[in-house]
Amino acid sequence: MPRLSAIIIALNEERDLPACLESLKGVADEIILVDGHSTDKTRDIARAHTDKVFENTWTGYGPQKQFALDRATGEWVLNVDADERISPDLAREIKSVLQANDASINAFDLPFHVHFLGSRLRFGGCFRESHVRLFRRDKARYTGQQIHEGIQVEPPIGRLNGAVLHESYKDFSEYLEKCNKYTGLIARGKHAAGKRFRAWQHLRLPWEFFVRYFVKLGFLDGNAGFVYAALSAYYAWLKHVRLIDMERGEG
């Protein structure tokens, strides 16, 4: 059976990392963790599970994941984030497809189950979320994007049924911290590309909420669905309105 390398990039992930690493037991033949100079116990936790822990100055999500990919040795690679877990069903399915080693498939799209503030979100745009995370090492490469990194994979791409469990945002403080980080990165990228803020972009906030909560049935997720729709609307608005800071030279 082909060897599988799991790659993880991390920065101060001591809270989420243990469960992620535990979920990889019996699935990955090697684990590659690239740390962006964490100041917590991230590296110590990782070294209890793998001897392939590297440090690399953070240059963005795409470059950091490519750095990890370059150090993988397995024929297949599984990319997971620290706040994600491989479900038992997905673990069994991965082992099955690796054993079959169908030469006609170069990658697999994996479904995601998003958990938000302790509840699984089934609506609001989360029901059909999926990402290409399992792929042949020599058939894929990450782009140089700072955030929402893309991966270039030679087709064909299959799809599995077992899910990645995404334990996003344990509390509001974590959400706001990441929101500030991500919207800043996105705004700087937009500004560098010549984008400017326009007054009509204020409409993104009510529109995003309307789409997630009503059109995509977020109200069926109860209180968590309302909060998720509201915060997602705020995020969608903020990543554009922060262009004002860039234009004033204060970003």
How far apart (Å, rounded) are the C-alpha atoms in residues 92 and 107?
A: 17
**Strand-pair category, 4-10 with 30-35:** parallel
Q: Using 50, 70 and 90 to split pLDDT, how confident is the model at 250?
A: low
Predicted confidence (pLDDT) per residue in 1-32, tens digit: 899 999 999 999 999 999 999 999 999 999 99
How far apart (Å, rounded) are the C-alpha atoms in residues 200 and 29?
A: 51
Quote the tokens at residue 240.
């554009």
Residue 142 has φ and ψ, to the nearest 5°, of -85, 145
Quote the tokens at residue 39.
């100041």
How far apart (Å, rounded) are the C-alpha atoms in residues 96 and 30?
A: 18
How far apart (Å, rounded) are the C-alpha atoms in residues 77 and 30?
A: 10
pLDDT recorded at residue 142? 95
Residue 222 has φ and ψ, to the nearest 5°, of 65, -145
Q: What does CATH list as the number for 4-168? A: 3.90.550.10
DSSP state of 169: -
pLDDT recorded at residue 249? 79
Predicted confidence (pLDDT) per residue in 44-69, tens digit: 999 999 999 999 998 889 999 999 99
Q: Using the predicted structure, report yes or no on whether residue 145 has a pLDDT greater than 70.
A: yes
Predicted confidence (pLDDT) per residue in 111-122, tens digit: 999 998 888 999
Instruction: Centre a 10 Å sphere on the Cβ of residue 183 and count the other Cβ atoms it contains.
Output: 20
Which amino acid would we find at residue 169?
Answer: Y
Quote the tokens at residue 24.
């990889």
How far apart (Å, rounded) are the C-alpha atoms in residues 107 and 68?
A: 18
Quote the tokens at residue 128.
């059909």
List, by residue range, all CATH 3.90.550.10 domains of the chain: 4-168
Radius of gyration of the chain (CA): 19
